[in-house]
């Protein structure tokens, strides 16, 4: 390295040392404060909650169970677990019950055969949930922002509408961080969401409430959105499957906040969150609407013909080392694919991944400042005043929301030289991935470096989201795959990435690893 970079490297090392020390201190006090025991949640007592969504739909079509029964089972489950988890924030139970009765009446009428219903309404009568940043007509549309506490959606987001048209029944909204821009789900409207495997731990964000309700089996499937890992991190922390689709495949219309630029729109993706890998492909096929043909989801995937690349760590400064349990799980996954399918595997050390964090943070810059969506007053001084108010419990904003607003006044500005430099880095890395993956490759990579942290602990480890964020920058599809529980009894897993519009490769690998390692594990305390 050149001599002029030495001061920069020195500053990074000092900052890295400070963050590592601070994280260790915070972990010590978190253990003292929270302990290791969390609240217990009831055992799942109805098998329908342990059934994949499309199997539930088949049972409804064939009169093996009614939509009303499924809905009432979900409602009971939500009521049983929500006091401990605080994941479900608004219901539409009455309307959902009306729609479930209509679904059952259609089945009973016999005007359409089960085959016709499968073709026209493949999710007929199946209850689902979505996060509180997706517009659902008649429900609040807050994104966890106090200033939006009285906002009621006057229309429904495209993707939710498409699912409804295919027979699915939306039953309510789940919790998010303030403005969906942090990886712990907490806001000053609905409070903090707890992890079902240990309620002292985080659930991720921004689709954190959705990850939790899926893990706890409160709805049959869920819809999340992801601009920096907001589907995959909550899926990882909660031990479920979650897929961020290829860019520009699922409509982002109806979300708040909206993507301000075309580049941001390419980062942002709406996708399915489920307990079962088998639901991912048919759900995306529906959610993608007219774009589904681009994905060739009906083409069979021969896993033995895939090339499997993998990397254990980004080695990025300021980001935690990858937990040994996660590394071990990835090694087992690679060995399984090699032994069962005789695939070609290759460990990679992609150097540009060390710059994941600055690439995402600088290319996320936009003309509108963060505080404009969460505060009445604007500017650095107003943010600092609000931070002091927060310390004394007098602010409607979260501390991390205010810190994010303050950080938005640093670094690159939209369109300046620094911004353009990082866009160029993004393009260079994307080209490297495209050439590596080709039309037959997948890339295994950590979803997150550690299992679920204690509540508030991400404040001391703020940059760990870089493992997912960089994949958003590249517009590539990625699926979180749960791989059991680690030594602390918390979910672990990895993400599988494929080339643009090759989402079906992610699903094929997810299904194989689910068979091998068990997938979702019910959160029961012994």
Q: Which residues are catalytic?
A: 131, 206, 230
Which residues lie closer than 8 Å to 302 by C-beta, 6 or more apart? none
* Number of separate helices (H) and strands (E) present in the chain: 17, 13
3-class secondary-structure state, position 392: coil
Whether the Cβ atoms of residue 181 and residue 399 lie closer than 8 Å to each other = no
| Cα gap 156→136, rounded to integer Å | 4
15 φ, ψ (degrees, to nearest 5): -65, -40
Residue of 223, 212, 220 lying closest to 251 (CA atoms): 223
Residues in the chain: 526
Peptide bond into 257 cis (omega under 30): yes
Beta bridge partners of 480: 242, 495
151 φ, ψ (degrees, to nearest 5): -80, 125
User: What DSSP character marks residue 217?
Assistant: T
The secondary element (H helix, E strand) that includes residue 266 is helix 262-267
10 Å Cβ neighbour count for 122? 20
Residue of 282, 463, 437, 265 lying closest to 350 (CA atoms): 437
Whether the Cβ atoms of residue 469 and residue 360 lie closer than 8 Å to each other = yes
Whether the Cβ atoms of residue 252 and residue 472 lie closer than 8 Å to each other = no
Whether the Cβ atoms of residue 353 and residue 470 lie closer than 8 Å to each other = yes
Beta-strand pair 478-485/491-498:
antiparallel
Write down the H helix ranges in 67-189.
67-85, 93-109, 114-120, 158-165
Which residues lie closer than 8 Å to 331 by C-beta, 6 or more apart? none
Which residues lie closer than 8 Å to 220 by C-beta, 6 or more apart? 49, 51, 53, 56, 70, 74, 126, 127, 128
Rounded to a whole number of angstroms, the distance between the first and last alpha carbons of the chain is 53
| Cα gap 248→412, rounded to integer Å | 26
Residue of 365, 348, 253 lying closest to 308 (CA atoms): 348
| Cα gap 492→447, rounded to integer Å | 9
The secondary element (H helix, E strand) that includes residue 442 is strand 441-446
């Amino acid at each position: 390295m050149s001599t002029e970079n030495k001061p920069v490297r020195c500053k990074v090392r000092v900052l890295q040392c400070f963050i590592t020390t601070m994280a260790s201190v915070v972990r010590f006090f978190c253990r003292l404060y929270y302990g290791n025991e969390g609240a217990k949640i009831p055992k799942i007592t109805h098998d329908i909650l342990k059934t994949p969504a499309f199997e539930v739909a088949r049972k409804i079509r064939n009169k093996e169970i009614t939509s009303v029964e499924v809905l009432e089972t979900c409602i009971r489950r939500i009521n049983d677990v929500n006091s401990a988890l605080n994941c479900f924030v608004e219901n539409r139970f009455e309307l959902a019950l009306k729609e479930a009765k209509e679904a059952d009446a259609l089945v009973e009428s016999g005007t359409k055969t089960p085959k016709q219903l499968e073709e026209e309404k493949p999710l007929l009568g199946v209850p689902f949930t979505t996060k509180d940043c997706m517009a659902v007509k008649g429900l609040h549309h807050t994104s966890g922002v106090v200033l939006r506490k009285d906002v009621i959606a006057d229309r429904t987001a495209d993707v939710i509408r498409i699912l409804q048209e295919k027979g699915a029944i939306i039953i309510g909204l789940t919790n998010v961080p303030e403005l969906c821009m942090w990886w712990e789900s907490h806001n000053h409207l609905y409070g903090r969401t707890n992890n079902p495997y240990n309620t002292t731990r985080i659930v991720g964000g921004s689709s954190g409430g959705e990850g939790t309700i899926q893990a706890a089996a409160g709805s049959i499937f869920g819809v999340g959105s992801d601009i920096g890992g907001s589907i995959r991190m909550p899926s990882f922390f909660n031990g479920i499957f979650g897929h961020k689709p290829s860019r520009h495949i699922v409509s982002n219309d109806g979300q708040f906040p909206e993507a301000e630029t075309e580049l941001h729109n390419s980062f942002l993706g709406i996708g399915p969150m489920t307990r079962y890998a088998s639901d991912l492909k048919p759900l995306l096929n529906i959610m993608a609407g007219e774009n589904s043909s681009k994905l060739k989801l009906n083409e069979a995937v021969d896993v033995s013909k895939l090339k499997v690349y993998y990397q254990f760590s980004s080695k990025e400064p300021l980001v935690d080392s990858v937990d040994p349990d996660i590394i071990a799980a990835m090694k087992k996954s690679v060995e399984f694919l090699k032994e069962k399918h005789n695939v070609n595997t290759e460990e990679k050390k992609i150097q540009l991944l060390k710059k994941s964090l600055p690439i995402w943070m600088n290319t996320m810059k936009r003309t509108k400042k963060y505080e404009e969506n969460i505060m009445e007053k604007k500017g650095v001084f107003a943010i600092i005043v609000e931070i002091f108010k927060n310390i004394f419990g007098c602010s409607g904003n979260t501390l991390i929301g205010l810190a994010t607003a303050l950080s938005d006044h640093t670094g690159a500005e939209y369109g300046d030289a620094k911004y353009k430099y990082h866009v160029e880095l993004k393009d260079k890395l994307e080209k490297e991935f495209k050439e590596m993956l080709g039309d037959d490759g997948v890339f295994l990579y950590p979803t997150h470096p550690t299992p679920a942290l204690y509540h508030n602990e991400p404040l001391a480890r703020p940059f760990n989201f870089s493992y997912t964020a960089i994949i958003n920058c590249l517009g590539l599809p990625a699926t979180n795959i749960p791989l059991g529980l680690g030594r602390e009894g918390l979910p672990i897993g990895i993400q599988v990435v494929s080339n643009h519009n090759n989402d079906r490769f992610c699903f094929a690998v997810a299904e194989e690893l689910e068979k091998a390692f068990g997938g979702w594990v019910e959160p029961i305390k012994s």
